[in-house]
Each structure stands twice: as C-alpha cells, then as structure tokens.
Structure 1
Amino acid sequence: MRKPRSRWPALTATAVLILMRGAPAEAAEPPAPPATDAPALDPATLLLFAVSLDNLTLSEGLGAYGDPADPLVPVGELARLLEADIDVLPPERRIVGRLGQARSSLLVDLAAGVARSGGRETPIAADDAAVTPTEIYLRVSQVRKLLGLEIEVADDELALRLHAREKFPVQARLERLANRPDGSQTGVEQDSLRVSEPYAFLSPPGVDAILDAGVKSGNPDRSFRYDLRFAGDLLWSNFQGYLGSDEEGRVTNARFLLQRRSIEGAMLGPLHAREVSLGDTYTPALPLGPRSVAGRGLSFSTAPLEQTSVFNRIDLRGDLPPGFDVELYINDVLRSSTNQAINGRFEFLDVPLSPGLNVLRVVTYGPRGERQEEVQVVNVGAGLLRPGEAQVQFGVVEQEHPVFQPRRVGRALLGDTAIFAGGGVRTVVSVNYGVSSLATMSAGLARTPRPDGDAVSIYTLGLRGSVMGLATQFDLGTDDNGGQAISLGAAGMWGPLSGVLRHAEYRDGFIDENNLGFSSQFEMRRRTEVTVDSSLNLRGRIVPVSMRALRNEYAGGSYDFLAATRASSSVGQVLLSAGLEYQRQRYRPTPATEVLRGYVTATTFRGYRWQIRTALDYDVLPDFKARFLAVTVDRKLSDAWSVRFGLGQPLDHDLDRWNVVLSSILATRYGDVALTGEYDRADDDWRLAAQWNFGLGYDPARRRYDLMRTGPGTGGSVLFNAFIDENGDGVRQANEAPAPNVALDAGGQRGVLTGPDGRVFLTGLGGGPSGSMDVSLDRIDNPSVAAPPSKVRLRPRPGGVTRVDYPLRPTGGVAVKVELLRDDGARVGLASVRLQLVKDDGQVVDAVSEFDGSTIFDAVPVGAWRLRLDPRQAEKLRMRLTAEPMVKIAGDGDFAPDVTLQVRFDPAPPDTTVARAGGGG
C-alpha cells in the first residue's frame, strides 16, 4: 500500500540527526543489501494492490514492491488466487507449472536467468525478480508474458486488473470465490517449514489395490485380476513391493525393492551416496557397451538426482497400473507414449536431452478419467565436475531374474533386448573425476553375460570438456574379446538452436547396447546421431520442435537410417502434437525398404470438466493411408461422478473392426468404483466388468488402517495436526483446542480441510526426493493466530507417513508511537524508525514507523514482549530510547494499550564527518 502523504514533510530518523548536527559533507551510504542473484525487496516500497480477474475480485491486498507502474508481484500468491497449477520453489530459485486447458508447461529458473512458457524462452534480468524464503516475486511485465494474462496496472488506484486469454480454474468456481474472505499478512517473514520423517526399522505399509472382476465372451467366461502395490519402512530403508495377476487371479508378476535416498549425499561414509537400492533394481550404463538393465541385485550412486551430461541418454521408469496410458513430454514436445506395462512398470528408453534446462513431464491417464502429472527439471551440461570432485555409480544384478518369480510368463523384463537376452550376473561400475574446471575424466568397468552363457569384460576411458562454449566428449572402449570402440561428441547452443552430435566407430565385434534399434543380425561398424531442438515463431505462435536423425552402418555394406521430427503447440484450448518418422533399411542381400509414418494428437481439459484426447496414426510411404484413430472423452458430471467414452477405429482395413468402451465412475472416500462395458467388433468379443480402486493407509494417530482412495501404497502421506498452541511449546497438550478448517494443497489435491479434531490424513504426495504442501488459514473461525510458514517442505517416500504438527499461536497487537522531544518542547513523530518486539526466548517481530511516527504490530503471538530499537539502526544513527517498556499480548486479536516511545540522539564523536560539519567538538 502506498504511504499516505502528510501536509508536513516526513521527519525520518536520519533527517533528525542531520538537522541536529548539521548537513554532512558526504551522505552516509545505506547498508549494502545481501549478496544474492536477485535484488532484495525494499520494505519502504511496499504497495498493496487490489486484484481482479475479469471483474471478479480476487484480493483487496496483494503485497507488491518497487515501481508502481511495473511492480514486483508474488507469483505464489497470485497462482493461489488464480488456482493455477504452479509450484513456487524459493530454495531452488525456480517456478514450475502447467498452464491452461492445453496444459502447456511453465519454467522459470532464476539461477540460469531464463524463463520458458509454451515453448517461448525469455531472459530474466537480475532486477526482474526477487526471492524471499517463502516467495518469488516477478515484475508484472514478465508475468504478462509467462501466464498469458493481460494485466492493467492502475498505479493511481493501486489496482491490478487481470484479463484472461483463456479460462483459469478460479473462474470455474466463481460462486465459492465470491464468498472467499480476504487473506491477511502476519508481518513476520518466516522460512519454509521443513519436516522430515526418519527411516524406521519397521512401519505399517501403505497399500494401493485394484480389483477387477467381470464376465466376457469366450472361454473362460469369467475373469478376476488384481494389482497390489505396497510400501513402507523396513530395516531403516524404504520397502516397495508389487504383485500382479493374470485374468484367472494367479500371481504372475512380483517386485521387491529396498531403497534409501539422501539429497545431501550422506550415505556409505566417504562415498557420499545419494541413492542405494537392494532388490529389483537397475545397473548403471557406460558411454560405450553396457546399458541399464533390470534384475535382482544391488546398486548405488553418488551423482546428483537432477543433473546429467548432455551426452547421456536417460531411461525413465515408473509405475503403470492396468488400463493406464502414459505420455512423455520434453520441453513441451510429445516424445513418446505407451500403455504397455511389464512387471507393473513403464519404461522410456534412450531418451535424448538438450543442453541447458530440460522440463520432463510424465502424464498418466487412468481408465476412470484420472490425470496425474509428474514434472522433473534436469539441468543438462557438459558433465563437468569441480576439480577434485568424484562421482561413482555401481550396480550388480542377476539380469532377467526378479527377487521373486512366481510364474514364468515368457516376457522379457524391463531393459532387456535380444542382444543380451538370457540370465547371468551383470556388474557395472562408473567413475567420473574432475581434473580441472574445464576437464573431467571418466572410467568404466563392466562384466556382462552373453546369450551363449559366456561373459565379456568391457573397459571404457573418456574425457569430458568445454571448448569455445561447446561441450565435448571423447570415449574409448574395449572388451576382452578384442572388440574396440571410439566415440566423439559435441553439443552446444547456437541462437534458438540447441544440438548434440555423436559419432562412434566399432571394430572386431564390439557390442554397444546403448544403440537401441540397431539390427543384431549384423556386425556394427559405425553410428552417427544428431539431435536438434528449437522453437519456431509462426506469426507470433511459438512452436517447440525436436528433430533427430541417426544412421547405423554394418559390415558388408548394410545400413539403416532413421529421421524423426516432432512438434507441439497450444491452439486455443487444445494442445496439438504432430510428428513424422522416416526409416530406410538396406540389409544385404535384400532390397532397400522405405517407411514414412506420422501421427497427430490433440488433448484438452476444456472447462476443467471435459478431458478429451484424440490420436490419428497414418502412413505416407510406401502408400498414403490412415492407420488408426482413437478418441477418449471423460466428462466430470460432479465431484463424485464421471463418465468415459472411448472409441478405437482401425483405418487400414474395413471400417467394421472398431472397438468401444463405456464407463461410469463413482469416486468415494473409500476409493473409486467403475462399471465398464467393452466391445470389439473385429472379434465380436465383449466384456462387462466392475473395478474397485482403493488404498489402505495407516493412521499413526489412531493406530489403525483407514480405507481411502489410492495413493498410500505408491506415494508419501501426511498426518497433519493443527491446534491452538496456548503455551507456545509447539506440542499439542490434552487441553489445547484443535484447529478445524485449515486448508491444504498437496499432491494435486486442493482445499483439503482439517476435521473437527484438527487432523487430516492426506495421501498421494508422490515418491520423489522432495515435495511441498501449502497451508491456508482463510477458512478458520479465528484468524487472529500466528502460524508456522505456510509452505511445508517434505521428503515423501512411498508408504511413508510424515507427521506435521502445525501449532497456531493466539495473537494480538499493539499500537506504538515514536516521538522526538525537540528543544522547544514540541513532540514530533519520527518516521522510518525500525522497532522490534523481543521475547526472552529470542523471538523478534519487526516494524517500521510511518510518516507520523506511528506503527502497528499486528498478529503478534501471546506473551510478554519488550519494545526496543533495531540495534543496527540505533548504532548507526546513535539513537536510544528513554525506556524499553514491556507489552503484554493477550490474544484473540485484542490490542494492548497504546505505547508512546521517546527517542534521544547521542552526540557524535568529535572526529566524525557529521560533527565537523556541524561545528561540534
């Protein structure tokens, strides 16, 4: 809010000192701001804006700072007002989100100084942003570009008028927001509340279950299948398990994993491991030779979880329940999709990344209209380490053999290909070491089995560097059968283009398993691969584009060539993705073959109630023809009831081979119940089924399992406990009242309220290395409380339950007047004096006097407080109070009696500039 102007000039503490001692010969410099990448906020420039969205009032007091014509506004608070799907991460100096009904991605990375929205990349200057422990502020001019909003700044009225180019979620719930109370600010800036749950020897596991029973045509005419996922703590690690059955209810797949993670790298002593896995795990890959393979064994890594080299092609894996589809988007471009799960998981292999920041979105669509989205930001560079820094990755597995194998199903496990099909023990170790700031050495050793029962040892040595702004890579590989390989690579950015070039030569039968898609019938000679990413500006529309080409050459003159291009863009409320893939194969002595295929997909979340997905596959070569059309429509009729319609139509045969799916889904607190009918016209098959998806979560407060919706078996859970902390010890006593109606936003769930006992059990927080939860007090009965930080930082793990105690201290306030007694006896209000309320335990609440010397301490926790001057300002200006009175805050929003403070200024030492200018001595 702008400071009101008095008819008399404001008298600041600094001005008073100058007037008393005379004008200084040289003005004193203000204290230097803290050294950060973004400027600190100046409290003196605080502005309170009224915010409206298309004539809907969202807030009467959005706190902004700086230039009234282009102020810095809090992105997190603005996102909450719009109910936009945006996560603000101040510790990481990063904003990540999904925008609009087309669900395009948003990324702001202040460390890198860039922002990306809908494929458009925008530089962020240092003065365009500011970071506090709980918020990130951006200038309105930047917010306009990133959120697709028209923002009118009426600085004379202190109003921000937003006009949406497409509907925001808040506009779908106008009735609720019309009665939303205005938020309040505590005036006490606090850091995020960080809560972690230590690993336990044994904890009750969380369970996610899918039970499916039905009748169908054919023999047998009945089916029953299940999919169970469970997780918890075991042996001070995180245990994750899986059991899946066939349609006769027999267990066919099982998975078992013990895993520990440490973002700080505090495991295995001097190795500083960040991840350790035992059970059904994966080996690491080497630049030449072995790739990542599944099996029962042990693995660990000391590498950061969100960084990789531009020359590494990553593998992405995750849970995929029956009937779910999953899509992978990289930098807004649809790269791949699948609905095939092996041992309950999906896998995207050999995924290339671009130099710089890569936004990876894994979008999972469920058969009942579910939509889950996991976003990971991977910083891809040259793979250079600091001088003297080392990273180690190790894995040993018995490939193709899970820990428990209840029944052979004749299918390969994740990561298996024909070239290394068969069992055997695989051991891989990789070491990277920083030689200098521009060079990192890499070495690898592996022992891998072969289909004939033999094994081969592989050795690699490489160098990563940076030359004239280009990331470079050089690797040598050899095996004990005499095979040899050499690989060269370069990567960089040229204006709007970012690209990676790799070339490898092979001799004497060296097998490079990382080259997926090559023909194992021929001996490999060389491989060349080029990846280019960019964004095209088509009459103002930004279209992200990805292109990839690779050529494999074999002994005897055979070769194959693959070229693919993909693009995605939002058109109105629809996200369109299209791609073309050309393939030419020449395997002597057979003649060459050519294939050119394409696809077009369209998705929308129209009105945030209609979820529509369509896909069309077609051929261009050797003949132009459409191959397949799929349409899926999900309609949310209410918060509890939705319906689904799906149609699949092959287009390369007669149009009588269609299949259709109809479902009715009821979402309850005890899980989702779906009734589904399926009919396949091609085989004249039909199936009627009932499916129940539910979770079993253990509530440690009640010491019992609760039946709920899915989530506790595959992600973390929170037991949130809000209460009125009368004695301020942070521990809930038997006589302390609960705090109902505290709202939580976490894990894609918004507005979950604590119950009459102040508690709520919230699940579905995912299993990533870190997570967050937002707390809102807008709906509580008594807003006169001081709360811990509204942003809660968590480290969720599958099946784990994190207890979050959230004490709310009753608060009150006090009005304070700071006066200077002049020589003529007049009392003058003193502005810009920094005051503090201090408790015996060290708590401090700050405030600054206004133009007339008055200030208000609001939302101060109950107790006895001492009023004093800010020690730094008092020392700098030689101020002191005639007395430091005690103030007793009673709570319930009541104000203590007003307090008037008298300020005195001590004389300056004789040798100071001020004293000399004033003639003092």
Structure 2
Amino acid sequence: PLKFLLRLPVTVEATRDHLQSGTDNIEVAGRISAYLDGTSVTNQLRWQSFGDAKSADGTLQLSRRVGDIGLRSQINYTLKPESKLTGITLSADKRLAAGYLLNLGLNHSFDTPETRYTAGVSKRMGSFGLGISASYSNRGELAAGVQLFMAMGREPRKSEWLFDALPKADSGAASVRVFLDKNMNGQMDAGEEPINNVGVTVNGGRHPSRTDAAGIAWLGRLPVKQNVDIAVDTMTLEDPQWSPQPKGVRLVPRPGNVAQLDFPVIMTSEIDGTVYLVEKDTRRGIGDVLIELVNSEGKVVATAKSAYDGYYIIAAVPPGTYIIRISPEQIKQLNLTDTGTRLITVLPDGTFVNGIDFSLLPDTSKDSPMPAQF
C-alpha cells in the first residue's frame, strides 16, 4: 500500500487576482492520477471564489485499452453550490488499416438535458491527413464535416515536393547525401557513385529514413533552435572498409529551412604487424605495447595495443603517408629501445599494409634512435 501511494502523481495550483474594485478572485486546483490493473484514473478538482460567489467542480477520467480498442470515459460534477452530475462522456477508438482511426462517442448533459452521438474516421499518416465526422442529437440536430490537411516540403537537391499528413512549418529538415569519394576532395564529382540504403543517426538515435538510389535521405521534423548531431550509421554501410568523412555534423535547424549535408565516404585500410621482445638469443611476442600512428603534421591519429602474442592491428586508416612507432613514453618507462620507426603509405584502393613488425631490446645506451623523416 505504501509503494502504491508513492506512485500517485499529485498536482496542486493556486492563483489569486486582486481587482481594482477590491474584489479577490481566488482559484485552487488539484489533480491526482493512478494506474490500476491496466486502467488509468485521473480526478481533477477546482475551487473558485469571486467575491461572495463560491463554486467547486471536478472531473473524473478513466481510460484503458482492450486489445486494439481504446476506451475512455469522463464524468463532470459540481460540489458547490450544490452536488450533482453535470455530464458524462463515453468514447472508443479502433485503429484500422492504412493508418485510419475509427472513433465512436456519446455525450450526455444532465443540465440541458441533451444526448449527442458522434462517429468519425481520421487519418494522420502518409502524404495527407483526413478527418470525416458526423453527430446526431436527441433534439433532432444532425451535423457532418470533412477536413483535409496537408503539409508540404521541398527536397532541394531533386527539386521534388514532399507531402505529409502532419505539420512541418514549426520544425527543421535536412537533405543528407552519401557518396563514395574516390578522389577524396570532399565533393561529389562526375563519375562518383551515390551509396544506396544508408542509415542516418540523429542525436545518437537511428532515424527511419535511408538514402535512395541517388544517395539522398530526407530528415524531417528536426528540433529547432538547439544543437542537433547528424551522422552516418556506419553499421548500414555495406563495406566494412568504408568510412564517412566527416564522422558527423552538428547544426542548429531553423523552422521551414532545409540544411544540405554531404557525407563523403572513403575507402580505408588496415595496418598490422607483431611486436617482439629480443632478449639474448631469443625473440618472443610481447603484449600490451602501445603502437602509435602519426600523420604528416606530427599528430597521433590512431593507436593500438599488441595482444598477448605481440600481434596488433590498426583499423580504418584513411589513405595517406604516416609514421608508425612504439610509444616513446612507454619505451622510456620500460627502459627499452626499438629498432626505429616505420614510414608507410596507405593507398586509396584499400590495400592492407601487413607485416609492420617491431623489435624491442633492453636499453644499453643513453642514445635514442633517430626518428624517420617525411
């Protein structure tokens, strides 16, 4: 029982307006909700005081789902100046095929008294929204209505209009293009191929859109006026050696504006080898050695640690010329010396670079080896 009470959300609000006439308008409202055996229960109470006039009323709401049918009821009542029921509403909905929703309802007012029956079919999925409704009152009143609504957006790369059943004007959008950048200039040139069926992540979560045959994916309903991180979902790239450059982009979407983002994909390579420890006349593989990959600017761009048998592998290395070395700090800490750094070139065709081995020896001198030069 105590755990149940701790899970009851309670809201209380109070307002007081003091008018120039000297009269105070005071309102106190409270709401409590619970979830019992699949049924949601909410009760709201409101007390008002305006001068000498005082009133209190409330609303009790219940809802639950039975299979694919949603059931809801609402009871309106007053407590002051007198206690009585003022109205009751019953409704049910059922999802149909193709995104359509069927609604049936009944509303009875005890004050009038009047009973109104309603029925409707609505659609809020796909390229357009549709609402058809009808109602009948026991007073003989009959009403019917039809609503058609549609939101439009333009894909700037293909000059195509996109239609949707839900509003778009208050959200941002992006046109993402993914292609294989063979010459690695960051631009899609003639002859370079778009990549189909590539997924995209938005703020780390997978977006339902995927690139089409033109390598383009439309990202709609992006949150506006805040940072949004967009990246290629590398798990959807068909070749494990493909790597997007850049990995991701951060932007601030604007309402009604379409950002155009390009994600060039390049072919990467792998570098492997073995690190040996040479002692006297024996040579054996040594683990937990830190290998560093240094670019032409002298920046360490990738690292790897050797396994127990000395084997290491550096994956997803972009084309270029690099120095590969054992970490100088680790060599110094272990009082070792190595046989020098290696100068390697990774080709754009993704060819693996194999057999880049290192031999570590006890440091018997104070001289350090000369680094390789570009």
Q: Work out whether the TM-score is over 0.5.
A: yes
Cα distance, 1:721 vs. partner?
A: 0.9
* CA distance, structure 1, for counterparts of residue 206 and residue 118 of structure 2: 31
1:778 aligns with 2:239: no
Q: 1:742 to 1:540 in 2, by over 3 A?
A: farther
Match for residue 674 of structure 1? 130
1:831 aligns with 2:287: yes
Match of 2:255 among 778, 794, 798: 798
* CA distance, structure 2, for counterparts of residue 890 and residue 688 of structure 1: 67
* CA distance, structure 1, for counterparts of residue 202 and residue 70 of structure 2: 25
Match for residue 641 of structure 1? 99
Q: 1:769 to 1:617 in 2, by over 3 A?
A: farther
Preserved contact between residue 811 and residue 893 of structure 1 (Cα < 8 Å) = yes
Which stretch shows the higher mean deviation, 778-787 or 568-577? Answer: 568-577
Q: 1:543 to 1:689 in 2, by over 3 A?
A: same
Cα distance, 1:687 vs. partner?
A: 1.8
Cα distance, 1:754 vs. partner?
A: 0.3
TM-score by length of 1: 0.35
* CA distance, structure 1, for counterparts of residue 287 and residue 26 of structure 2: 75
* CA distance, structure 2, for counterparts of residue 662 and residue 646 of structure 1: 7
Cα distance, 1:696 vs. partner?
A: 3.1
Which whole-Å deviations, capped at 9, do the CAs of 1:170-207 have from their partners, x for residues lacking one?
xxxxxxxxxxxxxxxxxxxxxxxxxxxxxxxxxxxxxx
Preserved contact between residue 661 and residue 678 of structure 1 (Cα < 8 Å) = yes
Query: 1:257-406 to 2 correspondence within 5 Å?
Result: none
Q: Could you list the runs of 5+ residues in structure 2 that have no partner in the other structure?
A: 367-374
1:685 aligns with 2:150: no
1:547 aligns with 2:12: yes
Query: 1:103-502 to 2 correspondence within 5 Å?
Result: none
Higher relative contact order, structure no. (Cα contacts within 8 Å, ≥ 6 residues apart): 1
Which whole-Å deviations, capped at 9, do the CAs of 1:343-374 have from their partners, x for residues lacking one?
xxxxxxxxxxxxxxxxxxxxxxxxxxxxxxxx
SS at match of 2:153: strand
Which whole-Å deviations, capped at 9, do the CAs of 1:279-305 have from their partners, x for residues lacking one?
xxxxxxxxxxxxxxxxxxxxxxxxxxx
1:732 aligns with 2:188: yes
SS at match of 2:341: coil
1:765 aligns with 2:222: yes
1:662 aligns with 2:139: no
Match of 1:868 among 317, 320, 325: 325
Q: 1:790 to 1:547 in 2, by over 3 A?
A: farther
SS at match of 2:254: coil
Match for residue 47 of structure 2? 582
Query: 1:557-576 to 2 correspondence within 5 Å?
Result: 558-569=23-34, 576=41
Preserved contact between residue 812 and residue 896 of structure 1 (Cα < 8 Å) = yes
Cα distance, 1:755 vs. partner?
A: 0.7
Match of 2:176 among 708, 720, 724: 720
SS at match of 2:128: strand
Match of 1:848 among 305, 310, 314: 305
Which whole-Å deviations, capped at 9, do the CAs of 1:747-787 have from their partners, x for residues lacking one?
99832110111112322213333334454233333232123
1:706 aligns with 2:161: yes
Cα distance, 1:854 vs. partner?
A: 1.6
* CA distance, structure 1, for counterparts of residue 47 and residue 113 of structure 2: 27
**Percent of residue pairs bearing the same amino acid type:** 20
Match for residue 76 of structure 2? 618
- Alignment: residue pair count: 360
Cα distance, 1:655 vs. partner?
A: 7.5
Residue identity opposite 2:57 in structure 1: L
* CA distance, structure 2, for counterparts of residue 572 and residue 846 of structure 1: 55
* CA distance, structure 2, for counterparts of residue 629 and residue 867 of structure 1: 75
Which stretch shows the higher mean deviation, 683-692 or 806-815? Answer: 683-692
Which whole-Å deviations, capped at 9, do the CAs of 1:423-471 have from their partners, x for residues lacking one?
xxxxxxxxxxxxxxxxxxxxxxxxxxxxxxxxxxxxxxxxxxxxxxxxx
Match for residue 61 of structure 2? 600
Cα distance, 1:554 vs. partner?
A: 6.3
1:813 aligns with 2:270: yes
Structure with larger Rg: 2
Residue identity opposite 2:26 in structure 1: F
Residue identity opposite 2:99 in structure 1: W
SS at match of 1:895: coil
* CA distance, structure 2, for counterparts of residue 907 and residue 611 of structure 1: 82
Match for residue 371 of structure 2? none
Residue identity opposite 1:806 in structure 2: F
Preserved contact between residue 275 and residue 360 of structure 2 (Cα < 8 Å) = yes
* CA distance, structure 1, for counterparts of residue 42 and residue 241 of structure 2: 50
* CA distance, structure 1, for counterparts of residue 100 and residue 349 of structure 2: 44
Where is the strand percentage greater, Structure 1 or Structure 2?
2
Which whole-Å deviations, capped at 9, do the CAs of 1:504-556 have from their partners, x for residues lacking one?
xxxxxxxxxxxxxxxxxxxxxxxxxxxxxxxx963486233222234456688
Match for residue 457 of structure 1? none
Output the aligned Cα RMSD. 3.6
* CA distance, structure 2, for counterparts of residue 837 and residue 761 of structure 1: 37
SS at match of 1:778: helix
* CA distance, structure 1, for counterparts of residue 17 and residue 9 of structure 2: 27
TM-score by length of 2: 0.80
SS at match of 2:55: strand
* CA distance, structure 2, for counterparts of residue 574 and residue 861 of structure 1: 57
1:859 aligns with 2:319: no
Preserved contact between residue 47 and residue 54 of structure 2 (Cα < 8 Å) = no
Which whole-Å deviations, capped at 9, do the CAs of 1:360-419 have from their partners, x for residues lacking one?
xxxxxxxxxxxxxxxxxxxxxxxxxxxxxxxxxxxxxxxxxxxxxxxxxxxxxxxxxxxx
Preserved contact between residue 718 and residue 801 of structure 1 (Cα < 8 Å) = yes
Which whole-Å deviations, capped at 9, do the CAs of 1:807-859 have from their partners, x for residues lacking one?
2221232322111111x221132222211223325471211112222222223
Cα distance, 1:900 vs. partner?
A: 1.4
Match for residue 881 of structure 1? 338
* CA distance, structure 2, for counterparts of residue 746 and residue 675 of structure 1: 32
Preserved contact between residue 745 and residue 752 of structure 1 (Cα < 8 Å) = no
Residue identity opposite 2:200 in structure 1: L
Cα distance, 1:570 vs. partner?
A: 5.1
* CA distance, structure 1, for counterparts of residue 156 and residue 57 of structure 2: 58
Q: 1:739 to 1:556 in 2, by over 3 A?
A: closer
Preserved contact between residue 890 and residue 896 of structure 1 (Cα < 8 Å) = no
SS at match of 1:836: strand
